[in-house]
């Protein structure tokens, strides 16, 4: 598949705070997922616990967790330069991660380590 043209998406871990992720040139779904996690400040060692779901503003997951292939296809088919495509990222499809800790980018995604 060809890399993504100019595509921006909007991502959230709590359905209240949103971040724009520029996916322009992303070659595959793994790259898209990495850019989402990087923007949200989710540490590499925690990423395996998180899933990416399609969403709408103010909503949690719409449908099931997206594989890398499906994530890339959705971005390729529905993504646009204005960020119309939205995703929810969490360890649960119906709520944000239960505890939060400050990160470089966003405080809403990373459970606090005790």
Q: What is the pTM of this model?
A: 0.86
φ and ψ at residue 64, rounded to 5 degrees? -85, 170
Instruction: Work out whether the CA dihedral 72, 75, 76, 81 comes out positive or negative.
Output: negative
Token pair listed for 31: 């790259």
Angstrom distance (rounded) from CA 105 to CA 83: 19
pLDDT score recorded for residue 109: 73
pLDDT of residue 104: 40
Tens-digit pLDDT profile for the chain (114 aa)?
788 889 999 999 999 999 999 999 999 999 999 999 999 999 999 999 999 999 999 999 999 999 999 999 999 999 999 999 999 999 999 999 865 433 444 555 765 544
pLDDT at 88: 97
CATH class of 8-90: alpha beta
Q: What pLDDT score was predicted for residue 2?
A: 85
Which pLDDT belongs to residue 70? 98
The residue extents of the domains of the chain are: 8-90
pLDDT given at position 108: 56
């Amino acid at each position: 598949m060809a890399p993504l043209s100019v595509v921006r998406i909007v991502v959230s871990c709590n359905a209240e705070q949103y971040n724009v992720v520029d996916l322009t040139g992303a070659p595959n779904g793994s790259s898209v997922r990495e850019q989402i996690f990087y923007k949200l400040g989710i540490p590499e060692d925690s990423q395996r616990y998180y899933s990416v779901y399609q969403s709408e503003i103010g909503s949690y997951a719409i449908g099931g967790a997206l594989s890398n292939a499906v994530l890339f296809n959705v971005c390729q088919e529905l993504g646009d330069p204005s960020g119309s495509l939205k995703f929810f990222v969490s360890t649960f499809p119906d709520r944000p991660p239960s505890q939060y800790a400050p990160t470089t980018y966003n405080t809403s995604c990373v459970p606090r380590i005790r």
